[in-house]
């Protein structure tokens, strides 16, 4: 998810500043293969938890798609990855990196001009998509049908899915704070369809909240996610992350991790709603 989601707690500026000051690293870093690390022997990454399937706690460990991708980077450096939880606002504005809380920020953060002014982005590692979720047997197979038929549509607020829907010509779409409530209204007949971020929708279909519904379309949104590094301070790390992304795509590792954490790769095309 590229923006601040209701799944990520909204923390105040005072708390963010205290968290950064309390945990700022103190000169115990190292340089490995030309890459500067804030802590010797490990690649330190920042995340706001939980945010499945990209990063979440499981059995006392932090796991997820982003975590596995950055584990590949850590292995190339011959170190281990350590995930540090920080307020989401400090990830998007570069404060966590500037305070040397971590070497890399992850968390499905879309590449935007505002973010690239404050941080260096890796090459995109993820093409965002949305999922059209309908009741099983509804016969609705595309967002064009929803748009043309004036069907009742729901989405989740402050997400890529909501921005995608806003670009279309839908009849007064309803915004929900959480996707579970949207799916509940779908099953109750109050909605005809729901549009969610694809990874979130796939994750929900594995739970009770996803019973009785299915995904019938997965158009790309045009947003692309990157990993983020301290601005103008660690170009060797950016290059290494780019190399790892390229290799993972070429040797099948990327597809394997995608299916493991998210599911089938989404459609390559984009619907009319992505104008």
The pLDDT tens digits of the residues spanning 106-160 come to: 999 999 999 999 999 999 999 999 999 999 999 999 999 999 999 999 999 989 9
The residue whose two tokens read 């599911």 is 263
The yes-or-no verdict on residue 170 having pLDDT over 60 is: yes
Q: What is the pLDDT of residues 105-117, one digit of tens each?
A: 999 999 999 999 9
Other CB atoms within a 10 A radius of the CB of residue 93 amount to: 15
- Average pLDDT value for the chain: 89
CA distances to 49, 62, 105, 237, 248 from 57, in Å? 8, 4, 17, 26, 24
Percentage of the chain with pLDDT > 70?
87
| Length of the chain (residues) | 275
The yes-or-no verdict on residue 6 having pLDDT over 60 is: no
CA distances to 11, 84, 102, 178, 193 from 224, in Å? 26, 23, 22, 23, 25
CB 225 within 8 A of CB 125: yes
The β-bridge relationship of strands 56-58 and 119-121 is unpaired
206-216 as b/e: b if 16+ CB within 10 A: eeebbeebebb
The yes-or-no verdict on residue 17 having pLDDT over 50 is: no
- Tokens at residue 238, please? 């950016």
Domains detected in the chain: 13-126+222-267 (3.40.190.10), 128-221 (3.40.190.10)
> How is the chain split among helix, strand and coil, in percent rounded to 5?
35, 25, 35
DSSP secondary structure code for residue 267 in this structure: P
Identify the weakest region by mean pLDDT among 7-11, 195-199, 230-234. Answer: 7-11
CB 183 within 8 A of CB 202: no
């Amino acid at each position: 998810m590229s923006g601040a989601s209701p799944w990520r707690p909204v923390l105040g500026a005072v708390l963010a500043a205290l968290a950064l000051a309390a945990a700022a690293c103190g000169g115990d870093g190292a340089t490995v293969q030309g890459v500067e690390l804030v802590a010797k022997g490990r690649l330190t990454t920042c995340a706001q938890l939980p945010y499945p399937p990209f990063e979440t706690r499981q059995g006392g460990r932090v796991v997820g798609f982003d975590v596995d991708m950055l584990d590949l980077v850590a292995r190339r450096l011959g170190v281990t990855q350590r995930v540090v939880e920080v307020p989401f606002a400090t990830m998007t504005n570069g404060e966590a990196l500037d305070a040397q809380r971590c070497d890399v920020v992850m968390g499905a953060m879309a590449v935007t001009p505002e973010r690239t002014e404050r941080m260096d982005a890796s090459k995109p590692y993820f093409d965002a998509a949305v999922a059209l979720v309908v009741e099983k047997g509804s016969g609705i197979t595309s967002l064009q049908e929803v748009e043309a038929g004036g069907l009742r549509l729901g989405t989740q607020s402050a997400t890529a899915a909501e921005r995608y829907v806003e670009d279309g010509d839908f009849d007064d779409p309803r915004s929900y704070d959480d996707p579970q409530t949207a799916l509940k209204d779908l099953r109750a007949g109050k909605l005809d369809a729901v549009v969610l971020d694809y990874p979130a929708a796939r994750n929900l279909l594995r739970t009770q909240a996803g019973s009785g519904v299915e995904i019938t379309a997965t158009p790309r949104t045009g947003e692309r996610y990157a990993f983020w590094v301290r601005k103008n301070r660690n170009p060797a790390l950016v290059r290494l992350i780019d190399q790892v992304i390229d290799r993972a795509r070429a040797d099948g590792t990327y597809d394997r991790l995608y299916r493991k954490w998210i599911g089938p790769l989404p459609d390559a095309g984009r619907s009319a709603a992505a104008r």
